[in-house]
Structure 1
């Protein structure tokens, strides 16, 4: 019974840090995110999967809302800017609802691995990634099938969905990798700075994910809804999904989140982390 009590105490400590940080320095941000990552790594596999599945369903709003806006707004540059703002809706629901999204997990649970650097920590991270990615992708396939074949959306909105979705498979392998690196970098930066934003969190999520849409970048979960939509409507093949979208986007998102944010931001606080580990006798 000691473990649940320890977890409850750590959660209370984490919440106290978040309440008191004001404008935190890099080390405090690192500690907040690392402790959050430890919480995620200890969650039950079934709970992780259900949360990831819910996130995969919710992220479909990042196709549905832009599609509806595209249908009703005029064909103009200013209208396209508003259409792409709709992309942020799915991310707002996922992040504010504390659902498990794979690209968030390229930073939050990575910090415990960088902190501990043990095989056990690596295994826990691999387990989390596998569960969350599986839940996200299965849900995107399910919701894409509903969007494509339920008859819930009229033909003119379906055409808007198809037009938006074709952008996910319109580029070559390495171009998609690069676009995904930038997307992973931006989403991971968002996760890194969120503990410091307080009441402005909604604005930060909106701004950062809108930027991903404006730049036409590749996100492995949101883009899977679009790519699966094309597969299920016969406008693309499963091979297109796997090799023109999923694999290059997954590689790019992971590199952008892990290498450009988690590792680099850990590097700036690594000396303080090692000093604290030595002081605690855990080094």
Structure 2
């Protein structure tokens, strides 16, 4: 008896596949489409639409939201200090304490507050789409208002910790230790590390629109990595850096020159490269006739 050939096997499998497809009713086919991963173009459009909405918000409302975000980010600093204080001095202590770095980001992102790098870099997508001076101006206004209000919020939080001794002495010592670390690297090193921080935040934003029930996990994992690697974030790090200023161990000009400027530049470069150059380019230059 003749053995079936490979061609016969392929025709049989194709026939079975076709029969299975016809067995699906319209409801099952819709369900199958819903379970498909969204294309890069769909993710891009979701982020761009949100960025467009942010650009139309009144600046006063943005300022109050950004002030709240600056205050909320202070809890990353506190959570890190608490975990560091209550864990034994060991090589894995930083792994545990870095989990606290995620706390402020959870409050801000889930609470829909305005955070520089989290809500301000995505409007670059709208700038690239319309390429009009009005959109550039509105984006710059958004950046300035959110950044200034964020820093004011972090300064208020840091001053309260430094002047009112909110926490116990051992935890104050942990706060001082964490804040000193913000000034250890050189200008160039801080800038390059800031690029990675901005890059990771942009990656997180790209994942968020369709993360659904995994949103909390995405935020924790990405920000935990930022904290563990000591990649400086302009707002989260400013709470610690300004605590050192109010505590008297570092000066205002040190904060501006050693931490603020290199971190800000690095975060912007990293975020724009990731959001604008990579994610925008993969959609803008993709073949529209194919799924990404």
Matched residue, 1:126: 140
Contact 1:106 1:257 in 2 (8 A): no
The correspondence for 1:29, drawn from 43, 50, 55, is 43
Contact 1:107 1:191 in 2 (8 A): no
Matched residue, 2:163: 149
Q: Compute the displacement of 1:272 (Å).
A: 6.0
Q: Compute the displacement of 1:224 (Å).
A: 0.5
1:265 aligned onto 2:283: no
| Number of residue pairs aligned between Structure 1 and Structure 2 | 256
Give unpaired runs (5+ residues) of structure 2: 1-33
Cα distance in 1 between the residues matched to 2:286 and 2:54: 24
Matched residue, 2:69: 55
Q: Compute the displacement of 1:201 (Å).
A: 0.5
User: Considering only aligned residues, what root-mean-square deviation do their CA atoms show, in Å?
Assistant: 1.6
Give unpaired runs (5+ residues) of structure 1: 1-19, 276-283
Trace 1:78-157 onto structure 2 (pairs within 5 A): 78-157=92-171
The correspondence for 2:214, drawn from 200, 215, 237, is 200
Cα distance in 2 between the residues matched to 1:241 and 1:264: 32
Trace 1:231-250 onto structure 2 (pairs within 5 A): 231-250=245-264
Q: Which moved more, 1:68-77 or 1:56-65?
A: 68-77
Measured at CA, do residues 142 and 273 of structure 1 come closer, stay the same or move farther in structure 2, by a change above 3 Å? farther
Q: CA-to-partner distance for each residue in 1:232-268, whole Å, 9 max, x for gaps?
A: 0100001110000000000000000002332211001
1:182 aligned onto 2:196: yes
Q: Compute the displacement of 1:102 (Å).
A: 0.4
Contact 1:180 1:253 in 2 (8 A): yes
Q: Which has the larger radius of gyration?
A: 2
Measured at CA, do residues 125 and 85 of structure 1 come closer, stay the same or move farther in structure 2, by a change above 3 Å? same
Cα distance in 2 between the residues matched to 1:107 and 1:256: 10
Measured at CA, do residues 22 and 93 of structure 1 come closer, stay the same or move farther in structure 2, by a change above 3 Å? farther
